[in-house]
Amino acid sequence: MSPEFEKEISLVTEKAYYYYSKTCSDSCVNPVICIHESMPLLQNGPQCGLVALSTAVAILDLKQKVRVQEWFDEAKAKGYTKQGELFSSQYIVDLVNHKIGKHAKLFKIQNLLEKTDCWKNSLNLSEKVDTILSSLLKKEIVLMPYDCDYNHEPALKKGHKSHWAVIIGFVIFSDHLSPLPLKEKTKITHPSGIVITVVDSIDDLSSISKEHIYVVCRQGKSKHLGVWPLLSLLASNSNLVEYPPSLLEDGNYILPTEGIDIALKDTFVVISKEIVG
């Protein structure tokens, strides 16, 4: 592991602890992280989906010579885009599977965020969170559409600021009284003295508090890594219900006729180095 990557891991952990400390007063925590090493890729115009796709493929080293322009040409030829926009998770899957083989799979998470007080404990939520975490532990990449705020964090804008995030890892915190069942890979000592455990396996995902999972993401509007509560990202994903009115009036974008609430809402894509069934 390079010194630069260790520094990046320390910074990511600091960002995750910022959120954790807002709701937990316990300062005696053990940060645990699973993360892919990656490079930023910035978009030029409305290319966030194509850039997310290129970023994921580059991380997995599937076919590095596929550039954003090549994905754009392929998407345009298929009638998926006019200017680089991709308003469908299925489009992402189709592009990957057609150009480099069956490495992508679409997941739907309908009714994930039920309008009840107990949605955080729902079985559906647990299953989908486990799918995301287990995918990352298996060295897969997760692409998720969401509403992007002015600072690139997840927002709730009904789909008017829809964007694509590339989830490359996650951070969790385990207190010393209830250690996680994990297999250690590497330990990094933060300048503060806190020891960060880098892992590629956790035996029991059900032992993790869903409210304290922080995903590490790249997205095409910044070279900096984003670190956000997973539940915030899922909530943003679940609020994609309508196209921006300006795009409907413009006419220069491909907007799937089924609507954003079907094409993007409650969906994510997992891209694997291995061929998927």
Per-residue pLDDT, 186: 83
Contact between 55 and 166 under an 8 Å Cβ cutoff? The reply is yes
pLDDT confidence bin for 197, thresholds 50/70/90 = confident
Per-residue pLDDT, 110: 61
Instruction: State yes or no: pLDDT of 116 exceeds 50.
Output: no
pLDDT confidence bin for 64, thresholds 50/70/90 = low
Provide the percentage of residues in the chain whose pLDDT is more than 90.
58
Of the candidates 231, 226, 227, 235, the residue with the CA atom closest to the CA atom of residue 266: 235
DSSP 8-class letter at 232? H
pLDDT confidence bin for 180, thresholds 50/70/90 = low
Instruction: State mean pLDDT over 203-211.
Output: 78
Of the candidates 41, 47, 44, the residue with the CA atom closest to the CA atom of residue 81: 47
pLDDT confidence bin for 184, thresholds 50/70/90 = low
Q: Please name every residue paired with 219 in a beta bridge, in sequence order, or none if there are none.
A: 222
Instruction: Concatenate the DSSP letters of all residues of 70-115 into one string.
Output: HHHHHHHHTTS-SSS----HHHHHHHHHHHT-S-EEEEE-TTSS-S
Q: Which amino acid is at 239?
A: N
| Residues in the chain, overall count | 277
Per-residue pLDDT, 26: 65
Residues 69-99 have pLDDT tens digits of 999 999 999 999 999 999 999 999 999 999 8
Sole residue written with tokens 């922080």: 214
CA distance 99 to 130: 29
Alpha-carbon torsion (163, 39, 37, 187), positive or negative: negative
Of the candidates 78, 108, 110, 107, the residue with the CA atom closest to the CA atom of residue 91: 78
Instruction: State yes or no: pLDDT of 111 exceeds 70.
Output: no
List the structure tokens of 46. Answer: 């409305």
Highest averaged pLDDT of the listed ranges 9-23, 26-40, 173-187, 227-241 = 227-241
Q: Mean pLDDT for the chain?
A: 86
CA distance 213 to 209: 7
Of the candidates 86, 30, 7, the residue with the CA atom closest to the CA atom of residue 54: 86
